[in-house]
């Protein structure tokens, strides 16, 4: 493992090893006994977009592990504008032991990794959000340890979060259904890859338009914002996505013990109601908190000895 750019770069065994390490690191942390796995190591964090969870959880993860992190805001670097992506990667590689980046174009992530001599971690791109997906599966495993055969229903936009989630579910044998409006489905290449991985692990993968059909008998309902960072047409989307709101009526169609997940930030009252986000099925804050532990596993594996 030399970078963490996309779920699809990893085998089932590699993902399972990361999840196991995350559990070990969480146990250590909860016992108040963080070991300095990354003493003296540093991480540069490039952000082209805003962040709460990714920024704070990576920074705290480095501190807990005995290292240090440097936040570089959207105004500072001008990735690909003030300076080429390749030159940023080459320069930072002389200062730090790893780079975490949140970018618009996934190609920039690949370019950073190609030209950096230190590991690069994807903290979200327009195409995918693999750190989120790892933390999400980690959360599901805490609550439903037998992953194989669970059914996750994603309701909403076939976006970066849905993409990484599909790929990790398909890889690990979790049935995945997505209900998205016409024109907002997963990218065709992503769906094709998901189908192939799902077939290998015996998982179902369904692409639908009807949310009620997608969540029937679901163990987990997952949603995300209708308009992602960098997308302009939020008014039009609000109208198109209205039938895709995760509310009490939709929950009633899933299993009685269904878990509700959201990567956050949420646009409450749009893709999810307060009653559901704050209700007894919601695990959204456990999910957010687990970003810390899942990312510690990624950092320890990539930057550790």
Does the protein bind ligand NVA through residue 155 (CB under 6 A)? no
Residue nearest to ligand NVA (CB): 228
E-state strands within 243-286: 259-262
Does the protein bind ligand CP through residue 264 (CB under 6 A)? yes
Q: CB neighbours of 7 closer than 8 A, spacing ≥ 6?
A: 15, 128, 130, 133, 134, 164, 167, 168, 171
Shortest Å, Cβ 91 to ligand CP: 25
Scanning 33-41, 208-216, 224-232, 273-281 for contacts with ligand NVA by CB under 6 A, the matching segment is: 224-232
Does the protein bind ligand CP through residue 122 (CB under 6 A)? no
Which CB atom, from 123 or from 173, has the smaller least distance to ligand CP? 123
Per CB under 6 A, the list member of 34, 201, 207, 228 interacting with ligand NVA is 228
> Radius of gyration (Cα) for the chain, nearest Å?
19
Does the protein bind ligand NVA through residue 234 (CB under 6 A)? no
| Number of chain residues interacting with ligand NVA (CB under 6 A) | 9
* Residue 281 preceded by cis peptide, ω within 30: no
Shortest Å, Cβ 36 to ligand CP: 25
Give the end-to-end CA distance of the chain in Å, rounded to a whole number. 12
Per CB under 6 A, the list member of 124, 140, 251, 272 interacting with ligand CP is 124
Tokens 């504008």: give the residue.
Answer: 81
What are residue 42's DSSP bridge partners? Answer: 68
Q: CB neighbours of 249 closer than 8 A, spacing ≥ 6?
A: none
Shortest Å, Cβ 87 to ligand CP: 26
Shortest Å, Cβ 288 to ligand CP: 7
* Cβ neighbour number for residue 191 with a 10 Å cutoff: 17
Does the protein bind ligand NVA through residue 45 (CB under 6 A)? no
What is the distance between the alpha carbons of residues 138 and 156, in angstroms, rounded to a whole number?
Answer: 22
- Residues near ligand CP (CB under 6 A) are 51-54, 124, 132, 263-265
- Residues near ligand NVA (CB under 6 A) are 124, 159-161, 224-225, 228-229, 263
């Amino acid at each position: 493992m030399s970078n963490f750019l996309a779920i699809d770069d990893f085998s089932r065994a590699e993902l399972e090893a990361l999840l196991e390490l995350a559990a070990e690191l969480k146990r250590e942390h909860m016992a108040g006994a963080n070991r300095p796995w990354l003493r003296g190591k540093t991480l540069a964090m490039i952000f082209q977009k805003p962040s709460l969870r990714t920024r704070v959880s990576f920074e705290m993860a480095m501190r807990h592990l005995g290292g240090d992190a440097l936040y570089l805001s959207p105004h500072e670097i001008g990735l690909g504008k003030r300076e080429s992506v390749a030159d940023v990667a080459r320069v930072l590689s002389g200062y730090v032991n790893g780079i975490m980046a949140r970018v618009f174009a996934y190609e920039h992530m690949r370019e950073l990794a190609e030209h950096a001599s230190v590991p690069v971690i994807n903290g979200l791109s327009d195409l995918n959000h693999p750190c989120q997906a790892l933390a999400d599966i980690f959360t599901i495993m805490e609550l439903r340890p037998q992953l194989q055969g669970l059914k996750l229903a994603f309701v909403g936009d076939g976006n970066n979060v849905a993409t990484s989630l599909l790929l990790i579910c398909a890889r690990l044998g979790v049935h995945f259904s997505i209900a998205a409006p016409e024109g907002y489905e997963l990218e065709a290449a992503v769906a094709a890859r998901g189908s192939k991985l799902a077939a290998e692990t015996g998982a179902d993968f369904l692409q639908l338009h009807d949310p009620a059909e997608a969540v029937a008998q679901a163990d987990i309902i997952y949603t995300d914002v209708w308009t992602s960072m960098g997308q302009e047409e939020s008014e039009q989307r609000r109208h198109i996505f209205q039938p895709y709101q995760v509310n009490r009526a939709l929950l009633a169609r899933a299993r009685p013990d269904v878990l509700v997940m959201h990567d956050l930030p949420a646009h409450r009252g749009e893709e999810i109601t307060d009653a559901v986000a704050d209700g007894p099925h919601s695990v959204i804050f456990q999910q957010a908190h687990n970003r810390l532990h899942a990312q510690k596993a990624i950092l320890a594996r990539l930057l550790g000895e």
